């Protein structure tokens, strides 16, 4: 990719911050000798300077900073699903330029020693438009079966806080947060999650957050658009019953 950038001389390079992009972007920026705006939620171009402006979370997702790259090319890695795809426009045309790339496997400085496949069932957490996550306040692994039932009714996936994963209640591939997965669903429902900055760093890009927690002072309510102060054991069954009634009507 460095060769392509040198030959095409772009002003801006945008890379998806997925599993491949989060490793590719910093390596490319280093080789080109320029800066990198990581984990961006929004990008725009300053009309007066022509510089790329990128909004990215800082302090564990507690705030959003606007950063600008001073070197060219300007590189930004965008969090997946931060933008909705545009409708196809038949009036727009363009030329696709192919750049042949020769790769010598012997140049690789790493080697694969083992492959462990994730046993995923249903929608992948990163792809789900609706995610229901549970935390330490659930008290054990059994309540996650109710969260899975709710997620199935909504056509979504189940996530978890780091505390729930560390306790062995759910697999590590369901963890949302700074040391887990970063998600940007349309709807994020948190159940018995306090809203620590480590967790919010992984879900701050959600379009709407609904919090269910018995502690009215929990930090999650500062981040949520809607909140329910109550016992999840009463709230979740009532919510599922309402969803069933709406889907059957």
**178 marked ligand binding residue:** yes
Instruction: Determine the longest span between alpha carbons in the chain, in angstroms.
Output: 62
**17 marked ligand binding residue:** no
**161 marked ligand binding residue:** yes
**115 marked ligand binding residue:** no
Pairing of strands 209-213, 226-229: parallel
Q: List, in order, residues 6 or more apart from 227 with CB less than 8 Å away.
A: 210, 211, 212, 213, 220, 221
Which SS3 state, helix, strand or coil, does residue 171 take? coil
**244 marked ligand binding residue:** no
Q: Is 220 left (phi over 0), alpha (psi -120 to 50) or beta?
A: alpha
**136 marked ligand binding residue:** yes
**56 marked ligand binding residue:** no
Tell me the β-bridge partners of 212. Answer: 191, 228
Which residue ranges make up the annotated binding site?
Answer: 136, 161-162, 175-179, 213
Which residue ranges make up the annotated binding site for FAD?
Answer: 136, 161-162, 175-179, 213
């Amino acid at each position: 990719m460095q060769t392509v950038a040198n030959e095409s001389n772009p002003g801006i390079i945008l890379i998806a911050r997925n599993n491949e992009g989060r490793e590719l972007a910093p390596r490319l920026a280093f080789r080109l000798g320029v800066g990198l705006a990581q984990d961006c939620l929004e990008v725009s171009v300053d009309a007066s300077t022509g510089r790329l402006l990128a909004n990215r979370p800082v302090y564990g997702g507690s705030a959003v900073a606007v950063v600008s790259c001073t070197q060219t090319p300007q590189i930004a890695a965008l969090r997946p699903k931060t933008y909705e795809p545009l409708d196809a426009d038949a009036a727009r045309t363009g030329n696709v330029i192919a750049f042949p790339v020769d790769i010598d496997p012997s140049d690789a400085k790493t080697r694969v020693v083992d492959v462990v496949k994730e046993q995923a069932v249903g929608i992948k957490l990163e792809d789900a438009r609706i995610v229901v996550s549970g935390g330490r306040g659930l008290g054990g692994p059994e309540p996650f079966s109710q969260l899975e039932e709710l997620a199935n009714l909504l056509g979504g996936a189940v996530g978890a806080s780091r505390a729930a994963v560390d306790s062995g209640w759910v697999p590590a591939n369901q963890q949302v947060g700074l040391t887990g997965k970063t998600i940007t669903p349309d709807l994020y429902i948190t159940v018995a999650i306090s809203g620590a900055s480590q967790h919010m760093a992984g879900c701050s890009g959600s379009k709407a957050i609904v919090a269910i927690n018995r502690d009215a002072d929990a930090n999650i309510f500062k981040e949520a658009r809607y909140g329910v102060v109550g016992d999840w054991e009463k709230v979740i069954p009532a919510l599922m019953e309402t969803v069933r009634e709406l889907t059957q009507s």
